[in-house]
């Protein structure tokens, strides 16, 4: 079952002679419950594609369907609601709010949506990620691996259908990076999520079910 469909997606930055074609006529169909990795050289369009998939950026042209509905025909407020409820994000730089504790960061998506978090789900996330003793800590008191685990918990708190991860192991040592990927895969199984992960590490990419290679803004292969 398709969860995301991209039709002829183009993304151009700038105009005229300085225009940069970040994505070129991208057609892509992502299936529910599959773990995808996106690989390619720096500047190939990997992160741009991920931002389009997460409705963080608008394409210059083309159409995106999420669960059968057109994303770009909806209002900005509707897209923001969609991101909060259906899509989770994990970034290389963690993006934790420094003035809030780990627990407050984890619960931020629920608070922004005005809903009470599922306490059992919260406990499960905290237990699996082994961050129960860090919930009152602030981001600057956490190691890189701990901060990324908190970021993963924040991305999972709303039980999103899709988890997007942009180089989530890029700031971690090899052992911590492997641990983070194992945890992401574990929650994929538990929640039946679709995962899309951008990485330059071919060993990490190989942990996915399907590898998407992009070059010069075009999808070169899907294997």
Q: What is the pLDDT of residues 10-44, one digit of tens each?
A: 999 988 888 899 999 999 999 999 999 999 998 89
At residue 27, the pLDDT reads 97
CATH of the domain at 93: 3.40.50.300
Predicted confidence band of residue 150 (pLDDT cuts 50, 70, 90): very high
Domain presence at residue 118:
yes
Q: What is the pLDDT of residues 170-220, one digit of tens each?
A: 777 888 788 888 888 888 888 889 999 999 888 889 989 999 999 999 999
Q: How many domains does the chain have?
A: 1
Give the domain extent around 190: 31-59+69-222
**Mean of the pLDDT values across residues 83-101?**
90
Identify the CA nearest to 168 among candidates 134, 123, 125, 198.
198
Sequence-distant (≥ 6) Cβ neighbours of residue 179 within 8 angstroms: 145
Q: What is the pLDDT of residues 40-88, one digit of tens each?
A: 998 899 999 999 999 999 999 999 999 998 998 888 888 888 888 899 9
At residue 73, the pLDDT reads 84
Compute the mean pLDDT over every residue in the chain, rounded to the nearest whole number.
91
Q: Is 90 exceeded by the pLDDT of residue 142?
A: yes
Domain presence at residue 15:
no
Domain presence at residue 160:
yes
Domain presence at residue 24:
no
Domain presence at residue 21:
no
Predicted confidence band of residue 113 (pLDDT cuts 50, 70, 90): confident
């Amino acid at each position: 079952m398709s969860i995301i469909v991209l039709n002829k997606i183009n993304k151009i930055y700038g105009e005229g002679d300085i225009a940069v074609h970040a994505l070129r006529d991208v057609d892509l169909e992502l299936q529910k419950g599959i773990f995808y990795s996106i690989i390619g050289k720096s500047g190939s369009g990997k992160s741009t594609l991920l931002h389009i998939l997460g409705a963080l950026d608008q394409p210059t042209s083309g159409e995106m369907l999420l669960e059968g509905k057109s994303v770009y025909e909806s209002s900005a407020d509707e897209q923001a609601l969609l991101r909060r409820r259906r899509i989770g994000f994990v970034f290389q730089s963690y993006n934790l709010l420094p003035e809030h504790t780990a627990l407050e960061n984890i619960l931020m998506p629920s608070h922004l949506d005005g809903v009470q978090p599922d306490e059992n789900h919260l406990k499960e996330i905290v237990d699996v990620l082994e961050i129960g003793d860090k919930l009152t800590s602030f981001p600057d008191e956490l190691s890189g691996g701990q901060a990324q685990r908190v970021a993963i918990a924040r991305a999972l708190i709303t039980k999103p259908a899709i988890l997007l991860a942009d180089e989530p192991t890029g700031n971690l040592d090899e052992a911590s990076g492997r641990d983070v990927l194992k945890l992401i895969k574990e929650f994929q199984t538990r929640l039946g999520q679709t995962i899309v992960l951008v990485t330059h590490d071919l060993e990490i990419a190989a942990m996915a079910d399907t590898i998407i290679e992009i070059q010069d803004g075009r999808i070169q292969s899907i294997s």
